[in-house]
């Protein structure tokens, strides 16, 4: 019980930790971008006319959603060199995050596309709207609005998940913290501090997404 | 990979299952308390519990495990790694389950509570006999979904040094130098554990969507 909290290593390491935050940010941003690409591609392929393609997409979604990210990142980390791709831990982590987030994005985006009624599109055409206008005003915007809350909360989750990338020592906040911790043995102080960092990061993200939602999607439903 | 290595993985699987069950049971008990405090109508209680939930939903599970693990050691509690991670998962699960169940309690029509009050049922009976049975039904799909999240989350105990399935996989893979085979099998074991639960969850969801029509 005579332990005295000592935050000197944390304060000394503050510049490194802030750089680590940037690393986390980069990882999350690239992961999200890849997840959207995989998500949109997956939704298109999931309605493919070729049955095996549909099955593959479904199997991909189920496998990714029912196994831990830690196992996925280890698997990808060891699998990539075998197929001749030699990458640093950080790009490897981005690929793993994108694949993981992509599987969730497929399900979310599919729900949004399905929420647009055929009658809406026909009504738009009947009113003399151009095809591009129908797509932009009647399909895209309402679909985006429908998926926005679940997609963005998935993004916040993905950002928190980046901490697991420290397991393959990708460059981000947690791995920076682990280095400071192993030099100073101030485990509680270091991890307690960066837990607050993560809290701020996810809070800022949520506020940001809320603001976007209020700006673009706050028109009445009916 | 020989029989011994595979049996070692199965031992890891046993700890994964146990850890998930303990986390879910402990999280269930505290989660219910949190959900009830969250809807108690008392501002202080509601503030504290909503802060608790926001804290756990806004930070990575890995950090929660680290902080609990080292924090317990700090206050002089010399605990087994097993007990420390079990406490970590219990806290984590209680926040998530508390939020899920708060939502389902609030989804029970107000008239139910009013009718129970009109019948002069006291708080305990109102909750136990009227509100909670309906809330549990509503919460079931999300609760099962969270259980899958929790099982997958227990893999992070490996980073803290607790030998569950993922860490067992790490150990075996370092022994026989076939990481792809080992993590492939580890992945399959997780999948066999989680997939039936996921299917059950979406089955419940579909059934409820039909009932709501």
Q: For B155-193, write each residue's pLDDT tens digit.
A: 999 998 899 999 999 999 999 989 999 999 999 999 999
What is the Cα A138 distance to its own chain's centre?
A: 27
Nearest chain B residue (CA) to A68 = B152
B3-212: CATH topology is MetI-like fold (1.10.3720)
Decide if A8 is inside a domain. Answer: no
Indicate the residue of A1, A66, A174 with minimum beta-carbon distance to B190.
A66
Decide if A1 is inside a domain. Answer: no
**A166: domain range?**
17-216
8 Å CB contact of A167 and B152 = no
- Chain A hits for B170, CB-CB cut-off 8 Å, are 74
Query: How many domains does the structure of chain A reveal?
Result: 1
Q: Among A119, A127, A147, which residue's Cα sits nearest to residue A217?
A: A147
Decide if A10 is inside a domain. Answer: no
Nearest chain B residue (CA) to A188 = B70
Q: Helices (H), strands (E): how many in chain B?
A: 10, 0
Q: Among A142, A151, A124, which residue's Cα sits nearest to residue A222?
A: A142
Helix segments in A47-135, DSSP class H: 51-65, 69-82, 89-114, 118-126, 131-133
Decide if A180 is inside a domain. Answer: yes
B17-47 pLDDT, tens per residue?
A: 999 999 999 999 999 999 999 999 899 999 9
| DSSP 8-class letter at B71 | H
**pLDDT class of B108 with cuts at 50, 70, 90:** very high
Q: What CATH number does residue A62 fall under?
A: 1.10.3720.10
8 Å CB contact of A160 and B184 = no
8 Å CB contact of B62 and A174 = yes
Q: What's the pLDDT at A171?
A: 95
Print pLDDT tens along chain A (222 aa): 567 788 888 888 899 999 999 999 999 999 999 999 999 999 989 988 999 999 999 999 999 999 999 999 999 999 998 888 889 999 999 999 999 999 999 999 998 888 887 888 889 899 999 888 888 888 888 888 999 999 999 999 999 999 999 999 999 999 999 999 999 888 999 999 999 999 999 999 999 999 999 998 887 765
Enter the tokens of residue A59. Answer: 């199997």
Q: Among A155, A59, A147, which residue's Cα sits nearest to residue A101?
A: A155
Decide if A72 is inside a domain. Answer: yes
Decide if A34 is inside a domain. Answer: yes
- Chain B hits for A74, CB-CB cut-off 8 Å, are 166, 169-170, 179, 183
8 Å CB contact of A66 and B166 = no
C-alpha to C-alpha distance for B190 and B154, rounded to whole angstroms: 11
Decide if A186 is inside a domain. Answer: yes
Domain limits, chain B: 3-212
Q: Crossing angle of helices B165-176/B3-38, nearest 10°?
A: 150
Counted across chains A and B, CB pairs separated by less than 8 A come out at 110
- Chain B hits for A188, CB-CB cut-off 8 Å, are 67, 70-71, 73-74
Decide if A6 is inside a domain. Answer: no
**pLDDT class of B125 with cuts at 50, 70, 90:** very high
Give mean pLDDT, residues B115-138: 94
Nearest chain A residue (CA) to B159 = A167
- In b/e form, how buried is each residue of B141-172, taking b as 16+ CB within 10 angstroms? bbbbbbbbbbbbbbbbbbbbebbbbbbbbbbb
- Chain A hits for B153, CB-CB cut-off 8 Å, are 68
Residue pointed to by tokens 């959603």: A65
Give mean pLDDT, residues B38-61: 95
């Amino acid at each position: 019980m005579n332990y005295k909290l000592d935050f000197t290593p944390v304060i000394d390491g503050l510049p490194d930790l802030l750089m680590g935050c940037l690393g986390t940010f980069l990882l999350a941003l690239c992961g999200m971008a890849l997840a959207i690409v995989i998500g949109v591609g997956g939704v298109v392929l999931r309605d493919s006319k070729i049955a095996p393609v549909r099955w593959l997409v479904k199997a991909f979604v189920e496998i990714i959603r029912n196994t831990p990210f830690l196992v996925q990142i280890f698997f990808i980390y060891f699998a990539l060199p075998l197929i001749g791709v030699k990458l640093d831990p950080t790009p490897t982590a981005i690929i793993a995050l994108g694949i993981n987030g992509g599987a969730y994005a497929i399900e979310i985006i599919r729900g949004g596309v399905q929420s647009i009624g055929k009658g809406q599109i026909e009504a738009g055409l009947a009113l003399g709207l151009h095809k591009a206008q129908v797509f932009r005003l009647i399909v895209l915007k309402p679909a985006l609005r429908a998926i926005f809350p679940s997609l963005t909360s998935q993004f916040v989750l993905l950002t928190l998940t980046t901490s697991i990338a420290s397991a393959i020592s990708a460059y981000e906040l947690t791995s920076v913290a682990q280095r400071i911790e192993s030099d100073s043995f101030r485990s509680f102080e270091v991890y307690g501090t960066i837990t607050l960092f993560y809290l701020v990061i996810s809070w800022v993200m949520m506020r940001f997404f809320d603001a976007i939602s209020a700006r673009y999607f706050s028109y009445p439903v009916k | 990979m020989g029989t011994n290595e595979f049996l070692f993985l199965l031992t890891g699987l046993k700890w994964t299952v146990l850890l998930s069950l303990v986390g879910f049971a402990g999280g269930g008990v505290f989660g219910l308390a949190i959900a009830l405090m969250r809807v108690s109508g008392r501002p202080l209680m509601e503030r504290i519990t909503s802060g608790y939930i926001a804290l756990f939903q806004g930070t990575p599970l890995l950090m929660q495990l680290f902080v609990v693990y080292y924090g317990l050691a700090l206050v002089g509690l010399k605990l087994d790694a097993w007990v420390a991670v079990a406490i970590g998962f219990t806290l984590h699960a209680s926040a998530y389950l508390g939020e899920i169940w708060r939502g389902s309690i609030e989804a029970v029509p107000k008239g139910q509570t009013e009718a129970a009050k009109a019948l002069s049922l006291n708080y305990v009976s109102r909750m136990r006999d009227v509100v909670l049975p309906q809330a549990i039904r509503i919460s079931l799909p999300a609760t099962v979904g969270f259980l899958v999240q929790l099982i997958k989350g227990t893999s992070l105990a490996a980073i803290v040094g607790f030998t569950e399935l993922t860490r067992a996989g790490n150990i075996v893979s370092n022994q026989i130098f076939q990481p792809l085979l080992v993590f492939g099998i580890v992945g399959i074991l997780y999948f066999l554990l989680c997939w039936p639960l996921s299917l059950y969850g979406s089955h419940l969801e579909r059934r409820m969507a039909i009932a709501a029509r």
